[in-house]
Structure 1
Amino acid sequence: MPLELINPDDLPVPEMYTQVVVATGSKLVFVSGQQPEDINGKLVGHGDFAAQARLAFANLGRALRAAGARPEQVCKITIYIVDYRRDEHVPIIEEAQISLFGDHKPANVVVGVAIMSPGYLIEVDAIAVIDEAIGS
């Protein structure tokens, strides 16, 4: 496996991510920010953060598959949220993240942003590492 997940003893153990991810694979995959859009580029779930989060993570999964990567090969994600409110948004993000990653917990950061395209509430990008030598 090209990723080593580390939660140092002297740092808190997060529920939804890993403090440190060491990547040793041979191929890097950088996925652009995935938005809550359908195949035609139309916004889905206008005003519905949960619907947008589910679709943004689903689109991230589609983009990873297109590159030959699996969710468990993702070492880092960045989640951009319009008008971020921790108590409101974190449970929804966790559900959407688990739907794609299951028990895998890549390093992550949540960034609150003031303005995106009108109606868009979330965007997610990723970095994955594939070890081509063993086909994983």
Structure 2
Amino acid sequence: MALELINPDDLPVPEMYTQVVVATGSRLVFISGQQPEDIHGKLVGHGDFAAQARLAFANLGRALRAAGARPGHVCKITIYIVDYNRDEHIPIIEQAQISLFGNHKPANVVVGVAIMSPGYLIEVDAIAVIDEVVTR
């Protein structure tokens, strides 16, 4: 599997993502939106955006592992945030993203939404490309 990360010369170089990701591989993995829930489906961190962001990204990592994928296989993420405020939310998202991806910077988009389920402040989904054959 190879991800070619491209930041074209005529576009700004983003700090936390890559402008263009070209993926080649034999398996596509689509991860549903991961929310800040514990193993029992209970919301964790009610009212605490940072706690919810950390758990949503940690749950994304768990979902990737279940598919035999690693964070480095992710080519695209979408982050949904209730009442999005760039100055307030981006630094927190960056820390949560780094905790999962390290220096890997998949393409991403942040989408502000009016409301999710009551108390939920963030959700993150992903697309990954892998070559490995997984046996379970």
Same fold by TM-score greater than 0.5: yes
Shift of 1:109: 0.0
1:51-130 alignment runs, 5 A limit: 51-130=51-130
How far apart, CA to CA, are the structure 2 residues paired with 1:11 and 1:26?
Answer: 30
Shift of 1:6: 0.4
* TM-score, structure 1 normalization: 0.96
Q: Deviations over 1:81-123 (max 9, x none)?
A: 0000000000000000000000000000000000100000000
Alignment length (residue pairs): 133
* TM-score, structure 2 normalization: 0.96
Unaligned runs of 5+ in 2: none
Which of structure 1's runs of 4+ aligned residues deviate more than 2 A?
none
How far apart, CA to CA, are the structure 2 residues paired with 1:3 and 1:14?
Answer: 17
Q: Deviations over 1:61-84 (max 9, x none)?
A: 000000000000000000000000
Shift of 1:132: 2.7
Identity of aligned residues (%): 92
Q: CA RMSD in A?
A: 0.8
Q: Which amino acid aligns with 1:65?
A: R
Question: Matched residue of 2:47: which SS?
Answer: coil
Question: Matched residue of 1:103: which SS?
Answer: coil
Shift of 1:2: 1.9
Unaligned runs of 5+ in 1: none
